[in-house]
Amino acid sequence: MAGALRPPERPEGRRGDTTGLPLPRFASLRAERVNLRAGPGSRFRVEWTYVRRDLPVEIVREHDVWRRVRDPEGVEGWVHQQMLSGRRTFIVRGAERALRRAPSENAVEVARLAPGVVGQFRRCAEPSDWCEVQAAGHRGYLRRGEVWGIYAGETVD
C-alpha cells in the first residue's frame, strides 16, 4: 500500500529486570506534563518535558522504578513508571490517513486523520492488517502501517 509504514518487529525473548514484562513494549504517557531525564533518577537533568498526555512511547529498558523510553521521533530518555500507562495509544505517521467504517480499503471514510493525531487502540487482532481505533472523536479502522504504537503481528485487546 502506498504511503504505509511497516510496524516495527519486536525482538523475542527479552524481559525487563524489574517487571519481567517483554522488552521492548509500548505504553503511553499518563500525565499532561512528563519529564524525560538523562538517567534513571530524579537527580539527573530533565532533557525534555512532554506536554502531550497519551503520547505512545516504547519502553526499551528498566531500572527500579524508572523506564527508558523511546518516543515516536526516536528520542530516548528515562521516565518514572508512575508517569506511564498501559493504555495503548498510537500516533498517525507519514501522511493524512483515512479512518474507515470497516476494515477494508473500500469502506466508507469516517474521518481524515492528520499526521501527529494521537488516538487509542480499541482492538487489533493478529494476523489482521487492520486495527479498530478511536481518534479525534471518531471510531473506525486504520491499517497497522499507518500508525506508530504497535508491533507487526501484535494483538491489542
CATH of the domain at 94: 2.30.30.40
Statement to judge: residues 32 and 79 lie in one domain: yes
| Within-domain flag for 153 | no
Alpha carbons 80 and 56: distance in angstroms, whole number: 15
Burial of 29 (0-12, 13-18, 19+ CB in 10 A): buried
What are the distances in angstroms from CA 80 to CA 8, 24, 107?
A: 24, 16, 42
| Within-domain flag for 15 | no
| Within-domain flag for 12 | no
Number of domains composing the chain: 2
Q: Coil, strand or helix: which one is 29?
A: strand
| pLDDT (0 to 100) of residue 6 | 63
Statement to judge: residues 32 and 83 lie in one domain: yes
The fraction of the chain above a pLDDT of 70, given in percent, is 95
| Within-domain flag for 17 | no
In DSSP terms, 37 is beta-bridged to 46, 78
Q: Coil, strand or helix: which one is 46?
A: strand
| pLDDT (0 to 100) of residue 46 | 98
Statement to judge: residues 43 and 79 lie in one domain: yes
In DSSP terms, 121 is beta-bridged to 133
Q: Which domain holds residue 76?
A: 25-87
Q: How confident is the model at residue 5 (pLDDT cuts 50, 70, 90)?
A: low
Statement to judge: residues 94 and 82 lie in one domain: no
Q: Grid coordinates in use for 57?
A: 512511547
Q: How confident is the model at residue 13 (pLDDT cuts 50, 70, 90)?
A: confident
Task: Pick the closest to residue 97 from 109, 82, 108, 88 (CA basis).
Answer: 109
What are the distances in angstroms from CA 124 to CA 25, 46, 75, 129, 150?
A: 15, 35, 26, 8, 9
b/e code 96-106 from CB counts within 10 Å (16+ = b): ebbbbeebeee
| Within-domain flag for 11 | no
Q: What backbone phi and psi angles, to 5 degrees, belong to 58?
A: -110, 120
Q: Look at the chain and count its residues.
A: 157
Statement to judge: residues 78 and 96 lie in one domain: no
Q: How confident is the model at residue 98 (pLDDT cuts 50, 70, 90)?
A: very high
Higher-pLDDT residue of 113, 128: 113
